[in-house]
Structure 1
Amino acid sequence: MTLTSEEVNIIVYRYLQESGFRHSSFAFQYESQIQRSPYFDVNIQPGTLINVIHKGLQFMEIEAHMSEDGELLECTNPFSLLEPHQCDLTGRSLNERSEPSPNPTAKRQRKEERRAQKEREKRARKDVETTESDAPPASTSSSITASTPAAAAAPAPAAPVNGHTVKEEADVVMNDTTNDEKEGMAKPRETIDPNDIIVLEGHQNEVFSCSWNPVVPNLLASGSGDATARLWQIGDGKDQVSKPIVLNHLPNLNDNKDVTTLDWNPSGTLLATGSYDGQARIWTQKGQLRFMMAHHRGPIFSLKWNKRGDLVLSGSADTTTVVWDPEAGEMKQQFELHTPILDVDWMDNSTFASCSSDKTIYICRVGQTKPLKKWVGHEDEVNAVRWDPTGRYLASCSDDMTTKIWSLSSDQPIQEIRGHRLQIYTLQWAPYQEENTDAPRILATASFDATVRLWDALTGTCLHVLQNHTEAVYSISFSPDARLLATGSFDEVLNVWNAKDGTLQKTFKANGGIFEVHFNKDGDKLAACTSNKQVVILEDMKS
């Protein structure tokens, strides 16, 4: 193998260009005279310099931990490019380590390893004992606390909750519901045949996230635990699916390869992805890596473009939110206000909300160092925040089993919504219809109690209780016209509801737990990504 200075110079030059150092790249080009090099017009993949350094660092780590017998020794201290490395050897060879078994934890636990310890401490603190087999069923109340449910590649037994499994707890909740609530349990008009859906295969691990392009209605992005995101072109029918473009996230900065979150910019030209290794990446619609942004020191759990598409916001377990300039691939501003951040959402082009396991919500504005608001009111972790389509109201949901509605005009929630019996994992506003300016603000909430509820958010009135799941509901998605609501659970069931009257329209049994569901821009296709390495597409949703 030979390596010339011209090759190094051209890679450094391309790195300076793609990182936005235009003056530096011009000066480097002038001094190195690389325009005269035969490599000057060679097509070089974006991120090449970083990838080469990563691979070199991995080789150095292997070299430092290789014994005289050729065995790779296990070391618990991270290997750094700049800092001197001090080994903390476990005495074991990596060759001796058994193959890891499929991870039996839920999506949040896989994203966030700290939850396992937190739940153990919570259960010990509350002295939860297993209910005797001859004891009467535990009554449901606001004090019920659930451990994180199972979410493995194949369903695993759920963790005990007050002496019940999550499924059993959901059954208790079902038995305790009123007759009005049971209206949402009607049989579907259509059970979808597996032969009538499109199955996208190719991922090598759980598929955690999926997102349709906001402009191109048949372009879908998916993110997986196999260190890839994929771009799929979906035609009409099973024979109209093209080979996906694979967005490779290797090499990464740690052993966990999850692509945890992804989001398209409003024009649909760029895709941002967040990874468990703390790196954010920006890709073109054709799958070219534009920037790799490695400022976070912990997993990225949430990542969003602003409405104008000129800023990207990421929230991480490293306790910070970072605002990125996607044109230069550089950090614009960093906020350190929380403990691990679970979700972020833009109100407009410069103002955003973040929520955390520390039970708080902060409202920040780009360019200002101090937050506009700090909202305290939840009694447990705040799992998700969403601004309504007008940007006037923020909804938050929590492990304390409540949803709260906030306004910048108040330091206290303007509405507190109760009804779920277990933790509320996510929530979604119905799309706003301009012709119905006086219509109620409809909010959907999904819970570990296996139900989804539809609310008039400003009055706190429960409009419908949707019950056709038997395990925690992880994802919900309104159709663009707000007529339908899709719900996905780790019971492997995908349900499609009439959002107006709460009736079940369609249901589909997948081959794995469902992590995320998403309607495309036209509302005629619905995607669901699963723990069984698949993405399934339901077509003709308008019919």
Structure 2
Amino acid sequence: MAENSPVLRISSDDINCLVYAFLVDSGFKHTAFSLAMESRLSSSPNFSRRLPRGELVDLLSKALLYQEVECHWRADALARGCQAEFSLLQPHVCSLDPPRPRMGAWGQQQQGTRWPLGQSNRANASVGPNGVTPPPDNGKRKASPFDGADGQPAEKRAKRDPDADADEPMAIDSPISPSVLVGHKKLKPQGRQQGPGDADTNPDAILLLPGHEAEVFVLAFNPVRQSVLVTGSKDAVLNLWDLPYPPAITSPAFARAPGPPRRLLPFSSNSVKLGNGNPSVKMEDGNANVKMEDAADADVDADPSADLTALHWNSDGTLLAIASFDSVLRVCTEEGEMFFESTVHEGPIFAVRFSKDGRWLLTASLDNTACLWDVHAKRLNTQFRAHTGPCLDVEWISDSMFASCSADHSICLMEIGNARPIRRLDGHTNEVNQIKCNATGTHLVSCADDMTARVWRVRGDDGSSSSTLTAAMSSGEPGTAETAVVLIGHKHSVTSVGWCPDADRPAGTNEIIATASWDGTARLWDSVTGECLHVFEDHKLPVYALRFSPTGRWVATGSSDGWLHVYDVKARKLTWSWFAGVEKPGVYEIDWQADENLDRIALALECWKVAVIDVSKVPALQGKR
């Protein structure tokens, strides 16, 4: 080495930071949080550096390439014509024979192929044993995994037809069978452009709003001011859109595009706790010091650690609660002024939920706690430590009673004024991802990584008190903790669940539940008998989002395959679809807004845009609201 050659140095801290960034990029939020705590990355000088997406994979790819060159430096024919695979974990032995088919990790036979550096073969892996698809690398979180060689998330690449010529370009074919009628038109099984899945829908019925510079993860319509839509992206930017009211259904005109969004300035993570442990509230003379600005005028860098995870409006649409991966709770007004913010949580916040009366706010965090906030007093009321693992979701049962679920496999029923759980619901054997209460507050449904959903009776039909509830559970009443109705059928983690609104439910019939899973399917269930009423199998990749229409007539699903599908709940069939495009196709979240004169769907998209669909201009969905 020359005297003045630079010194090559690598430390354990460098490795920890690279692994942490990989875990975050891949969606392994829980594991990333644990690594950061165990290795004390917050005190590392490298922790605040912005690492390029997929940096660990890029470095490993370069190391693999270097080793391949090192192994093949010889000029003999064996090295030049080597057909053997080159693996990161196995020693390389040159061979002129092509690799034989081998058994993959999930038992399927795989053809040995030398993939381009940085590209994974997960997209081409077939379904594993018992029909279970291998778990994708990005876990439950919506964040895209590391980019592949072509710049597209590896598990979201288009699949190649095994019978197609190797030189033909890949294309995402329609996930709908060509024999299925959608909007009275047949879909051709070929590569598609962004747009409706049928020929009857005018593309102008869908507005694409390009106001973000990263993946859009969350969105929510204001429940009172129907023109207001809030959208949040991975770079911690929150946009408020003022959507023009759509023209009447009888009008040939389509909804006009809104003007530029008003933007809440990107969040910072420099909040401090007060000495008494109360949350800090950034106020100046009683007025918020953070306000909305026109997105075009906002020139402040976003905080990459403030990845937005959840939004929730209070019932009168005056306050918006914002959950973020930077562990800071923020509540702002409908005009975008900061109402208060707090740094009480010591881990990412995954869920926020106002009570129906708007007095209380719940938060769920990966620090294993759920917090109850007094909204008007702008302070923490109680921090519940009922779980031994990350708290993943919270749900109100009544104005004084709520539930929380956790990665410790449990659900806890809590009440205001009592720091200890009323009841712990055990039965799931893996992380509980989401919980939802029915409209009457009598039953709770949960879904988990154990591939099941469960229906629990949490209150009497007369709104029984907690003491009555505990006695009922202890007696083993059907539908309580000991005898929960178990919904079995999915072949992978169940990540989303919802109750069908009662508006269109025939008298004397049981409530219907819908579930969505990483196995690419959505299912309808009888909430009382546990019978699976129907399986929707049109998606080809994990289903990220699930939402019933306000009347319960339709249920919509969004997937990483780029498709939004709208199903008729009564007829139990696919009715209409929309495709987000080939590049960054994921549909991450769905909200549905409807009344007598308004019916529209909003989509949070991986391609950095927001889609707003005027349902009244979709022929296949007209007249059946």
Residue 326 of structure 1 deviates from its aligned partner by 1.4
Residue 138 of structure 1 deviates from its aligned partner by 6.2
Q: Pick from 106, 109, 122: which aligns with 1:132?
A: 109
> Equivalent residue for 2:260?
243
- SS at the partner of 1:369? strand
> Equivalent residue for 1:358?
408
Q: Pick from 119, 139, 146: which aligns with 2:135?
A: 146
> Equivalent residue for 2:440?
390
Residue 435 of structure 1 deviates from its aligned partner by 8.0
Q: Pick from 589, 595, 607: which aligns with 1:532?
A: 607
CA distance in 1 between partners of 2:501 and 2:561 (Å): 27
Q: C-alpha offsets along residues 321-355 of structure 1, whole Å, 9 cap, x if unaligned? A: 00111112210111012211111111111211111
Residue 303 of structure 1 deviates from its aligned partner by 0.6
* Match status 1:515 vs 2:588: yes
CA distance in 1 between partners of 2:446 and 2:260 (Å): 39
Cα distance 1:515–1:103, how it changes in 2: closer, same or farther (>3 A)? Answer: farther
> Equivalent residue for 2:169?
none
> Equivalent residue for 1:478?
548
- SS at the partner of 1:370? strand
CA distance in 2 between partners of 1:450 and 1:134 (Å): 24
For the Cα contact (< 8 Å) 2:306–2:325, is it kept in 1?
yes
For the Cα contact (< 8 Å) 1:218–1:233, is it kept in 2?
yes
Cα distance 1:183–1:493, how it changes in 2: closer, same or farther (>3 A)? Answer: closer
> Equivalent residue for 2:418?
368
Q: Which amino acid aligns with 1:491?
A: D
CA distance in 2 between partners of 1:102 and 1:431 (Å): 45
User: TM-score, normalised to structure 1's length?
Assistant: 0.71
> Equivalent residue for 2:305?
256
Residue 226 of structure 1 deviates from its aligned partner by 1.7
For the Cα contact (< 8 Å) 2:255–2:614, is it kept in 1?
no
* Match status 1:231 vs 2:248: no
Cα distance 1:166–1:327, how it changes in 2: closer, same or farther (>3 A)? Answer: farther
Cα distance 1:240–1:128, how it changes in 2: closer, same or farther (>3 A)? Answer: closer
For the Cα contact (< 8 Å) 1:275–1:300, is it kept in 2?
yes
For the Cα contact (< 8 Å) 1:381–1:398, is it kept in 2?
yes
For the Cα contact (< 8 Å) 1:386–1:427, is it kept in 2?
yes
CA distance in 2 between partners of 1:513 and 1:529 (Å): 9
For the Cα contact (< 8 Å) 2:234–2:304, is it kept in 1?
no
- SS at the partner of 1:412? helix
Structure 2 unaligned segments of length 5 or more: list them.
1-12, 18-32, 34-40, 58-103, 113-124, 161-175, 184-196, 247-253, 271-302, 459-472, 474-479
Cα distance 1:137–1:528, how it changes in 2: closer, same or farther (>3 A)? Answer: closer
> Equivalent residue for 1:212?
221
Please give the residue correspondences for 1:307-322 in structure 2 after superposition, counting only pairs within 5 Å: 307-322=356-371
Q: C-alpha offsets along residues 198-231 of structure 1, whole Å, 9 cap, x if unaligned? A: 0111111111111111122222111111212111
Q: Pick from 274, 280, 285: which aligns with 2:323?
A: 274
For the Cα contact (< 8 Å) 2:546–2:590, is it kept in 1?
yes
Q: Which amino acid aligns with 1:399?
A: D
Q: Which amino acid aligns with 1:316?
A: S
> Equivalent residue for 1:294?
343
Rg: which structure is higher?
Answer: 2
Q: Which amino acid aligns with 2:355?
A: N
Cα distance 1:527–1:98, how it changes in 2: closer, same or farther (>3 A)? Answer: closer
Residue 527 of structure 1 deviates from its aligned partner by 0.4
CA distance in 1 between partners of 2:483 and 2:178 (Å): 29
Q: Which amino acid aligns with 2:438?
A: D
For the Cα contact (< 8 Å) 2:106–2:129, is it kept in 1?
no
> Equivalent residue for 1:461?
531
For the Cα contact (< 8 Å) 1:184–1:466, is it kept in 2?
no
Percent identity (aligned): 31
- SS at the partner of 2:482? coil
- SS at the partner of 1:141? helix
* Match status 1:501 vs 2:571: yes
- SS at the partner of 2:256? helix
Q: Which amino acid aligns with 1:131?
A: Q
For the Cα contact (< 8 Å) 1:184–1:503, is it kept in 2?
no
Q: What number of residue pairs does the alignment pair up?
A: 422
CA distance in 2 between partners of 1:319 and 1:209 (Å): 23
CA distance in 2 between partners of 1:287 and 1:330 (Å): 20
Q: Which amino acid aligns with 1:301?
A: F
- SS at the partner of 1:216? coil
Q: Pick from 373, 377, 388: which aligns with 1:328?
A: 377
* Match status 1:187 vs 2:181: yes
CA distance in 1 between partners of 2:54 and 2:419 (Å): 45
Q: Pick from 454, 468, 488: which aligns with 1:418?
A: 488
> Equivalent residue for 1:112?
none
- SS at the partner of 2:155? coil
Cα distance 1:137–1:275, how it changes in 2: closer, same or farther (>3 A)? Answer: closer
Q: Which amino acid aligns with 1:198?
A: L
For the Cα contact (< 8 Å) 2:393–2:406, is it kept in 1?
yes
For the Cα contact (< 8 Å) 2:133–2:519, is it kept in 1?
no
Residue 102 of structure 1 deviates from its aligned partner by 9.2
Cα distance 1:132–1:303, how it changes in 2: closer, same or farther (>3 A)? Answer: same
Cα distance 1:481–1:185, how it changes in 2: closer, same or farther (>3 A)? Answer: farther
Residue 521 of structure 1 deviates from its aligned partner by 3.8
Residue 471 of structure 1 deviates from its aligned partner by 0.5
